[in-house]
Amino acid sequence: MNNLKVGFCRMNIDPPMGVPINGYYKERFVEGILDSLYMNVLALQSGDNTILLINVDNCGLTQAKIAVFKEIITERTGVSAENIMISATHTHTAPDIDPFSDNEIIKAYTELVKTRFADASSYAIADLKDAKMGYGKGVAPNIAFGRRYLMKDGSTKTNPGVNNPDIVKPIGVVDDSVNVIRFDREGADTIVFVNFANHPDVVGGSKVSADWPGLLRTTVEKVLDNTKCIFFNGAQGDVNHVNVHPKPGDLNGMFMDFDDVSRGYAHAEYIARVVTGGVLQAYDKVNYVDVDSLVNVQKPMYIPSNRPDPKDIPEAHRINDLHNAGKDDEIPYEGMMLTTVVAEAARMVFLENGPDTLDMTLTGIAIGPVAIVGIPGEPFTGIGLALKDTEGFDMILPCCASNGYEGYFPMQDSYDEGGYEARSSRFKAGVAEFIIKEGKALLESLRK
């Protein structure tokens, strides 16, 4: 018997000029708006259980920040923190949101966003309507590429540059699947939940943009009448939009940016259209099922930290100090290698005096035969594929930057291979495999 209600709200969170932008090891401040940023809230209710799935156009919000926002949502709506999942799209052209900042302009913008969390959640609950759910899968090929490569000298490089003659082959796998959940509501817009894995770092620059996830929402809603789209990014830690061996036409609408990465707004629009194609493959042919319950579980994890070797500390401090002083030109690297050594130095300085373990929480939500796994950072594709392969659910949707943003979760062999993600990760080798094990246990608990 179907017993599902669904509500939705979208609210604008455009920032003022001058707010710092997250996403690079390089200072940027908001200079304008290419397209607006939004907060999207999906409210699900079955019986006496209400769950809020909230997506924000932002690079990432730490667990500590999210705890602050959950508190005001609970105060306003009565929905417990355990029943709320807040995810970031991971766009690299959105400003800093920080309730602990002393910067006045960040504080002002954060207060706006904090109010939006409470308001949008309240409106989504007020919008609850009887609904039926269907689910299906499409595919979006040739827009996500592995970004780690084996080089001729035996090293591993992240984003080694387009047409780099020293590239031997890509490392890792890509998941082209587009997961779609469709909620048909009585007397109200249909809600389309989309899950696809790719880095939203396509636009670049210092103007605000939700990148391709925001353009995806707009495109889906243009193509499908009376529909609202909400997007949750997948396991995208080792993939992005860069095709290092482009064919004629592939670089249309793109430019080479400061870190050897090809970017362009037109390419973000292209990705949005291709993923929309994947949505359309599934939309009309979803498998409708009755939903008579919602189940949600939070699973704490304690993971060893990637503490530095004491002999590396002096050099890490030197690089970190130069970077913080704006003297990157005195660090003998360029492009993505500069980003890598700066990020690695920051990790070493951060963990110089511990802690030895870091805590995180996995989030699990079951909507009938469909499960969502919220991962508080950037999981590699291997994590997402392993979780999707778990028995017991018809569809499993891994969602990155969910209920936290604590960094990269590389696969075990990535630590031996090297590259930006493993060298910057605050977690010791084995973190990915641990998340897979705990994630599968989480999925099993959702079935009980």
Q: Say yes or no to pLDDT of 253 above 90.
A: yes
For residue 233, the model assigns a pLDDT of 98
Clarify whether residues 337 and 373 are in a common domain. Answer: no
Cis amide prior to 355 (ω within 30 degrees): yes
Clarify whether residues 241 and 375 are in a common domain. Answer: yes
Clarify whether residues 271 and 389 are in a common domain. Answer: yes
If you average pLDDT over residues 205-224, what whole number do you get? 98
Which H or E run includes 232?
A: strand 227-233
What amino acid is encoded at 425 in this protein?
S
Local structure of 140: helix, strand or coil:
coil
Q: In the chain, count H helices and then E strands.
A: 10, 24
- Cα 308 to Cα 237, 317, 346, 408, 434, distances in angstroms: 22, 12, 11, 16, 21
Structure-token pair, residue 45: 């209710």
Render pLDDT for 81-130 as a digit per residue (tens, 0 to 9): 999 999 999 999 999 999 999 999 999 999 999 999 999 999 999 999 99
Look at the block and give the residue holding tokens 């249309």.
252
* Strand pairing report for 38-46 and 49-56: antiparallel
Number of C-beta neighbours around residue 415 at 10 A: 20
Local structure of 430: helix, strand or coil:
coil
Clarify whether residues 248 and 381 are in a common domain. Answer: yes
CB 92 within 8 A of CB 258: no
Clarify whether residues 263 and 329 are in a common domain. Answer: no
**Residue at which a domain ends, from 321, 350, 379:** 350
Look at the block and give the residue holding tokens 């037109």.
266
For residue 85, the model assigns a pLDDT of 98
Clarify whether residues 343 and 411 are in a common domain. Answer: no
Question: How many structural domains are present in the chain?
Answer: 2
Structure-token pair, residue 190: 């249909």
Q: Say yes or no to pLDDT of 364 above 90.
A: yes
390 sits in the region (left: phi over 0; alpha: psi -120 to 50; else beta) called: beta
Residue 146: alpha-carbon gap to chain centroid: 16
If you average pLDDT over residues 57-68, what whole number do you get? 98
Q: Say yes or no to pLDDT of 1 above 90.
A: no
| DSSP assignment of 234-251 | -S-TTEES--SSPPTTTT
For residue 334, the model assigns a pLDDT of 87
Q: What is the DSSP letter of 14?
A: P
Cα(314)–Cα(316) distance, integer angstroms: 5
10 Å CB burial of residue 397 (0-12, 13-18, 19+) is: buried
pTM for this prediction: 0.96
Confidence of residue 26 (pLDDT cuts 50, 70, 90): confident
For residue 276, the model assigns a pLDDT of 98
Strand partners, 267: none
Clarify whether residues 333 and 246 are in a common domain. Answer: no
Domain that holds residue 174: 5-299+357-446
Clarify whether residues 312 and 212 are in a common domain. Answer: no
Q: Say yes or no to pLDDT of 363 above 80.
A: yes
Across all residues in the chain, what is the average pLDDT?
Answer: 96
For residue 330, the model assigns a pLDDT of 95
Cα(425)–Cα(302) distance, integer angstroms: 15
If you average pLDDT over residues 287-296, what whole number do you get? 96
Clarify whether residues 113 and 163 are in a common domain. Answer: yes
Structure-token pair, residue 402: 């969910």
* Percentage of residues of the chain with pLDDT beyond 70: 100
Clarify whether residues 325 and 407 are in a common domain. Answer: no
If you average pLDDT over residues 21-49, what whole number do you get? 95
Clarify whether residues 272 and 226 are in a common domain. Answer: yes
Clarify whether residues 292 and 375 are in a common domain. Answer: yes
Confidence of residue 48 (pLDDT cuts 50, 70, 90): very high
Confidence of residue 18 (pLDDT cuts 50, 70, 90): very high
If you average pLDDT over residues 305-309, what whole number do you get? 96
Number of C-beta neighbours around residue 354 at 10 A: 9
* Percentage of residues of the chain with pLDDT beyond 90: 95
Q: Say yes or no to pLDDT of 395 above 80.
A: yes
